[in-house]
Structures are given as C-alpha cells and as structure tokens.
Amino acid sequence: MSAPTMEERKACWGARDEFWHCLDSHAEDASKCEKLRLSFESLCPQQWVKYFDKRRDFLKYKKKLETEGYHPPEAAGKS
C-alpha cells in the first residue's frame, strides 16, 4: 500500500470528522450514522479506521476522567 496523497488524507479526515459529529449529535446511536460510517471506511485505509476508532474511545474516556475524576472500583484493595 502506498502512502495516501494529501487529497486522500483530507478526504479521510473530513469523513471521520463528519462521522464523529454525527455520533456526538445522536448520542452514540450508530444506526443513524451508518452511511457516514461507510463513507469513512471507504475513504480511509483500514489501519487508520482502527486507529481513529480507538482514538475516539480514548478521548471519550479521557474527557470522562477530567470531568468526573477517577473513582476506583469498590472491591479494589479489599481482600
């Protein structure tokens, strides 16, 4: 696989941003964003799709930690 051109990268990132915006707008109801997901997958290399999916999960987790703080599980440290 050759490296994506600048135009291909921009198209991929644009499709990703549209898909993520749709997910944000529809409270993670991915069924309403199915067409955007297919566009995202068709415009981006497979490895990029996997990376961006993991990145989104991480960013959501990070935001949750920043707003709610870290709360260890109740069972942690008890034996």
Domains identified in the chain, total number: 1
Q: What is the pLDDT along the chain (79 residues), one digit of tens a residue?
A: 678 899 999 999 999 999 999 999 987 677 899 999 999 999 999 999 999 999 999 999 999 898 888 777 776 555 5
Three-class DSSP category at 74: coil
| In-domain check, residue 46 | yes
Domain that holds residue 55: 6-66
| In-domain check, residue 78 | no
| In-domain check, residue 29 | yes
DSSP alpha helix (H) spans, the chain: 6-25, 34-43, 46-68
pTM: 0.79
| In-domain check, residue 33 | yes
**Counting beta carbons within 10 angstroms of the beta carbon of residue 47, is it exposed (0 to 12), middle (13 to 18) or buried (19 or more)?**
exposed
| In-domain check, residue 55 | yes
| In-domain check, residue 77 | no
